[in-house]
Structure formats: C-alpha cells, structure tokens
Amino acid sequence: MIEVKGIGKKYGRKHVLREVSFTAEKGQITCLIGINGVGKSTVLKAIMGLTPVASGTILIDGRTVSSQLYDKITFIPDSITMPPNMTVDACMQFMKDYYASWNTKRAAELAGFFKLNGRDRVGELSKGNAAKLNLLLGLALDVDYVLMDEPFSGIDMFSREQIASVFTSHLIEERGVIITTHEINDIEHLIDKVVLLENGLVRREFETEEVRLQEGKSVMDVMREVYNG
C-alpha cells in the first residue's frame, strides 16, 4: 500500500500541495484527478522521491522511499525520458543493465504488441510511439507499484485505445497503479478508485463501483458536485 499522509509543498509563495492524504492499494488502479496545475504530477514525484516535500510523510509498504525501492516502484512520466539519440533497443538494454526487476520477456511482448521498431531512435518516434515506449520501459519492470503521469494526454485515438487495453491486461493486474488525468471520460470503467484534488487538498476519495452502487453516480457526477458545489 502507498500511504500519502498530509504532504505539503510550496513553489515560492504558492502552495501547490496544502495537505494531501490518500492511500493506493496494491491490485487497484487509483486515479488522481484534478485540473491542470493542481499538483497531481508533484504528488507522483514526491512519492518517487524526485522532489522533497515541506511536510507530511509518504510510506510505500510501510517504508519511506529510497533507491532500494526503485526495483519495487516505478514512475512513468508524461513524456519519455531517454536521450533522443538512443535507439529503442538501447533503451531496453539500458533498463536491463540497471534494474534487477527488468523482465526481458515482457519487454519483448510489449514491444511486439505496440509494434515498436528496435532500431528507431527515441528522438524520431511519433508522439504515440514515444508514449508507448515510455510505457513499455515502466511496465516491463516487475514492480509492485506503477505511477503514471497523464498516460493518455496528447496522443492519437488509436494509441489511446492500445494503451487503455494495457490497463485491462495482466500487465497491470495485481499491481498497485496510480495514474493522473485531467479528463476522466475514456477511463471511467478502468479505475477502481478516485482521488479528487483541488487547491492542494483532497476534496474526495472514493471507490468508483461503491459510488455507482450506493449513490447511482458516475465519476463525472461526483466531479461536478465537488467542483461546482
């Protein structure tokens, strides 16, 4: 379980996060929703230890993040982070060199599914293919937790569908997943849990099926309530 307990962060005088607390379970897809600039990415970076927080604590299976945990948890940022002159194959080799949790078989499977060409260079990939490679580099790791920043933004329809289908497959199953998004439409059915962020606070945290069952509301309905009401 990932436990985020009362984290706060300021950029200059602006409070990006005031007091953010939520949990994300293993085996579930938790979705951080909020308009752009609300600090969703900052939360993911803070969980990964990529940016310090001013207050609060973050525990991953009861431990604070450290370099030993990077074989247990991985982060897929909203754009690929490998140098542009590297080939797809070189990127995968790089991952294999450094990560004990790299799963070569799964990487090959994903490369086939996404139809990525190993000799293509990162800098020459289309937006959709870059997003797929980015996803591949994270998902081919046998980690317990995967954090994804806006996996669906800025890519074509077909790539979106392909990426969405990853979420319903064994690639995600049994892992704890946190994704951020500013548009919920395409993925309402994919997620287990929603954390609504606004003004650096968690406005609501709920299980999607629970809200449908108890209140007969869609995620959009709840968002409308929270943001308009």
How far apart CA 36 and CA 16 sit, in angstroms, is 12
Supply the minimum distance, in Å, between the C-beta of residue 218 and other proteins: 3
Supply the minimum distance, in Å, between the C-beta of residue 210 and other proteins: 8
Contact 197, 34 (CB under 8 A): yes
| CB half-sphere exposure, 126, CA atoms < 13 A | 10
Q: Pick from 80, 92, 110, 163: which binds other proteins (CB under 8 A)?
A: 80
Residues 110-129 binding other proteins (CB under 8 A) are 122-123
Q: How many CB atoms lie within 10 A of CB 80?
A: 23
Supply the minimum distance, in Å, between the C-beta of residue 42 and other proteins: 10
Considering only the stretches 15-23, 92-100, 110-118, 194-202, report the one whose residues sit in contact with other proteins under the rule CB under 8 A: 92-100
Q: Pick from 36, 62, 67, 157: which binds other proteins (CB under 8 A)?
A: 67
In sequence order, which residues have a C-beta less than 8 Å from that of residue 24 and are 6 or more positions away? 1, 2, 4, 30, 145, 176, 177, 178, 193
Residues 163-182 binding other proteins (CB under 8 A) are 164-165, 167-170, 172-173
Considering only the stretches 15-23, 54-62, 80-88, 198-206, report the one whose residues sit in contact with other proteins under the rule CB under 8 A: 80-88
Nearer to other proteins, 203 or 217 (CB): 217
Nearer to other proteins, 34 or 49 (CB): 49
How far apart CA 205 and CA 22 sit, in angstroms, is 7
Residues 25-64 binding other proteins (CB under 8 A) are 27-29, 45, 48-52
In sequence order, which residues have a C-beta less than 8 Å from that of residue 162 and are 6 or more positions away? 113, 114, 132
How far apart CA 23 and CA 45 sit, in angstroms, is 16
Instruction: State the DSSP code for 124.
Output: G
How far apart CA 40 and CA 31 sit, in angstroms, is 10
Q: Does 216 bind other proteins (CB under 8 A)?
A: yes
List interacting residues with other proteins (CB under 8 A): 27-29, 45, 48-52, 67-71, 74-75, 77, 79-84, 94, 97-101, 122-123, 164-165, 167-170, 172-173, 188-192, 208-209, 212-213, 216-221
